[in-house]
Amino acid sequence: MNMNESVLEQIHSPADLKTMTDEQLIRLCGELRSYLVTHVTQTGGHLASNLGVVELTVALHQVFDTPTDHLIFDVGHQCYVHKLLTGRRDRFDSIRAPGGLSGFTKRSESSYDPFGAGHSSTSVSAALGFAEADKLTGSDAYTVAVVGDGAFTGGLVHEALNNIDRTLPLLIILNENEMSISPTRGRFAEHLAKLRRSPRYHKTKKATRRLIRRIPLVGEPMFRGIRGVKQAAKNFFFKSNYFEDMGLYYLGPVDGNDFVAVRDMLREARSERQATILHIKTVKGKGYLPAETLPHEYHGILPGNKAPAYNFSAEMGKLLCQRAETDDRLCAITAAMAEGCGIANFAKQYPDRFFDVGIAEEHALVFAAGLAAEGMHPVFTVYSTFLQRGYDNLIHDIALQDLPVTVCIDRAGLAAGDGPTHHGIFDVAFLGQIPNVPLWAPADFNSLARALTDSLDSGHPACVRYPNAAPSPADDIFPYGEYPFRRDRENIADSDCVIVTYGRIYDEAVKARNLLSEEKITCTVILLEQLLPVAAPADALASLLTDPSTPILVLEEGIKAGGLGMLLREALSERGVLNPLRIVAIENPFAASEKSRSLRATMGIDAEAIVKQAHCLTRKACTPEPDIQ
């Protein structure tokens, strides 16, 4: 390779790394870091975590033979360097854009991405599946899982560790950077800190290993058979090691930003061909001072490195702080998302009533149930996509016992940058199946405050959902009627069509109304801010719809199957309201975004899609579908 050229520009696949010198590889790490800072600050995306794993990713692709060997990232957002080294550099500027590269690993994108990971703590289970499958099929491939220390706060990792066969060629890299998104919390993090503070541990381990292997007549063939002797001696001096107690071979800790040290340790781990934990220590944001100093602010950044707008999350955090001033039983809970959910200030003002449980949504919900059972007022703030993990706990531990837990569902709606793993489009459908759990969908800050107050004062379980956005002036657009059922026209008797919607997608309904108005089709938009129990919006609509021929369009930024539209159709029918009804909602929730099209257009829920369906109903220009009654 020409040393006068950029090393990165000479990399077309991981095979190009195999013949490079250490000097070239270290140069490559510097170029990758500069490339990330230059490009991600413009395109937006996950910056700090990727800066931290540059040396590790280069070393992994040099030591292992990907894609034959399986490389799994947890969480997948730390895969940017991996993408640059596996033939995707020419498309990197499209990352997280419609029709572009995913911000996570994605099986359909590359053979180098064996497993997609948008949620944390899944990699060890998946890696174990790969390793066992290779064993069953006779493959000698190695499986490597790169796991952030935050993922170890999730119970799924430990369930998988408990199930590992120690003879498998499986390497689990514990990447300790003391951050998940918020700083890592919990006993496991404390245990890692103890290991890190004991440099004697690793030195003694190596010395003990050399000593045992030199014993005459025993040697290398007997080494594994007498490992218990070493374990007993180590425990005598240094107490227990969590991983070795589970039967796993442990290496480290090692400086994860020292390329040669990481590469040498990976070679040693690979030579063992047994289930191994390699513990590395990296600096999140390495090489870019702003990200090193404030890694949580550079976890995910907007295009052009713009500052985020004041949004529903920030307002919810403000409201919780205000409520806590007069309600000394109010507690706020997060699953490692204090900044993302807007409650970092609550943590500072009321540290005794703030609980970060780590990446453990199931535990967060049951913990909240316990607090509520003992008279506290717990509020769990969580992204919609992560709430899915706690569905059983919502049903069994909260709703069934009628415990007053308030769940604030952040990031409700489509996630344009993060894609299908982060779309908050299932919550209305799955919450709609749980009895007696009200669901509020405030459209502006005033409604958010009322929804939170109603939820906390109810004495029962309740949920409040809101988007990752700043609000538009809903009061100006929907001035008629009373919260939580508002509309844009006072008298709807002369409407040719009624659009019923909720959430931030009401802007598409308003656009469609304006387009239809140009065609002399009068349309009323009804905004629902209470969705469940479905009897509430059904009763409101039944009182408004006096003409049985007025067609209804239900617009949702959520899935169609089991969503509010389907629930409303049944509830209206029970009330004798048999108006023609069609649902405009997401029918293919896993659809990939398309280049040069908005995500709403791809999903078929934009203004044009609404107009098309309105034509069907008002002009009877198409064959009625089963959704029309």
Report the first-to-last Cα separation within the chain, whole angstroms: 69
Residue 628: pLDDT over 70 = no
Coil vs helix vs strand at 230: helix
Same domain, 456 and 517: no
pLDDT single digits (tens) 400-454: 999 999 999 999 999 988 999 999 999 999 999 999 999 999 999 999 999 999 9
pLDDT single digits (tens) 585-594: 999 999 888 8
Say if residues 150 and 181 touch (Cβ distance below 8 Å): yes
Asked if residue 237 is part of any domain, the answer here is no
- 137, with CB counted inside 10 A (0-12, 13-18, 19+), is exposed
- Identify the pLDDT of residue 70: 98
Coil vs helix vs strand at 252: strand
Residue 629: pLDDT over 60 = no
Same domain, 393 and 513: no
Same domain, 429 and 286: no
Domain count, the chain: 3
Asked if residue 337 is part of any domain, the answer here is yes
pLDDT single digits (tens) 155-167: 999 999 999 999 9
End-of-domain residue from the set 293, 320, 355? 293
Count CB atoms within 10 A of the CB of residue 291: 27
Question: Dihedral of CA 10/13/14/19: which sign?
Answer: negative
The angle at the Cα of 140, spanning 138 to 145, to the nearest 5 degrees, equals 120
End-of-domain residue from the set 403, 437, 465? 465
Backbone angles phi, psi at 368, to 5 degrees: -60, -40
Asked if residue 326 is part of any domain, the answer here is yes
What is the CATH classification number for the domain harbouring 581?
A: 3.40.50.920
- Identify the pLDDT of residue 244: 84
- Identify the pLDDT of residue 213: 66
Nearest one of 304, 518, 540, 530 to 438, comparing CA atoms: 530
Mean pLDDT of 182-208: 53
As given in the structure block, the two tokens for residue 490 are: 């006072």
Percent of the chain with pLDDT over 90: 74
Greater pLDDT, 559 or 188:
559
Rounded to an integer, what distance in angstroms lies between the CA atom of residue 346 and that of residue 568?
37
Asked if residue 307 is part of any domain, the answer here is no
- Identify the pLDDT of residue 189: 52
**pLDDT band at residue 562, thresholds of 50, 70 and 90?**
very high
The angle at the Cα of 413, spanning 412 to 418, to the nearest 5 degrees, equals 100
Greater pLDDT, 58 or 297:
58
- Identify the pLDDT of residue 626: 56
Same domain, 179 and 37: yes
Going by C-beta distance under 8 Å and a sequence separation of 6 or more, which residues neighbour residue 192? 149, 174, 176, 279
Same domain, 189 and 49: yes
**pLDDT band at residue 287, thresholds of 50, 70 and 90?**
confident
Question: Dihedral of CA 452/458/459/463: which sign?
Answer: negative
End-of-domain residue from the set 417, 432, 465? 465
Asked if residue 217 is part of any domain, the answer here is no
Say if residues 142 and 171 touch (Cβ distance below 8 Å): yes
Using alpha carbons, list the distances in angstroms from residue 149 to 205, 249, 364, 489.
23, 18, 19, 53
Same domain, 459 and 547: no
Asked if residue 215 is part of any domain, the answer here is no
Mean pLDDT of 58-78: 95
Say if residues 336 and 181 touch (Cβ distance below 8 Å): yes
Residue 182: pLDDT over 80 = no
Same domain, 327 and 288: no
**pLDDT band at residue 191, thresholds of 50, 70 and 90?**
low
> What amino acid positions are annotated as catalytic residues?
284, 361, 389
Mean pLDDT of 316-345: 97
User: Comparing 47-61, 73-87, 189-203, which segment has the lowest mean pLDDT?
Assistant: 189-203
Residue 461: pLDDT over 90 = yes
Asked if residue 565 is part of any domain, the answer here is yes
Asked if residue 262 is part of any domain, the answer here is yes
Same domain, 559 and 510: yes
Say if residues 143 and 67 touch (Cβ distance below 8 Å): no
Say if residues 26 and 18 touch (Cβ distance below 8 Å): no
CA–chain centroid gap for 166, Å, is 30
pLDDT single digits (tens) 102-132: 999 999 999 999 999 888 999 999 999 999 9
Residue 232: pLDDT over 60 = no
Same domain, 501 and 420: no
What is the CATH classification number for the domain harbouring 137?
A: 3.40.50.970
Q: Name the residue range of residue 374's domain.
A: 312-465
Same domain, 369 and 427: yes
Strand order through the sheet with 70-74: 70-74, 143-148, 170-176, 276-281, 249-255
- Identify the pLDDT of residue 183: 53
Mean pLDDT of 312-340: 97
Same domain, 154 and 287: yes
Rounded to an integer, what distance in angstroms lies between the CA atom of residue 332 and that of residue 352?
10
- 247, with CB counted inside 10 A (0-12, 13-18, 19+), is middle
As given in the structure block, the two tokens for residue 141 are: 């491939």
- Identify the pLDDT of residue 237: 43
Count CB atoms within 10 A of the CB of residue 269: 23
Greater pLDDT, 390 or 625:
390
Greater pLDDT, 483 or 381:
381
Percent of the chain with pLDDT over 70: 88
Residue 227: pLDDT over 80 = no
Same domain, 404 and 516: no
Coil vs helix vs strand at 485: strand
**pLDDT band at residue 483, thresholds of 50, 70 and 90?**
confident
Where does residue 524 fall: left (phi above 0), alpha (psi -120 to 50 degrees), or beta otherwise?
beta
Mean pLDDT of 327-346: 96
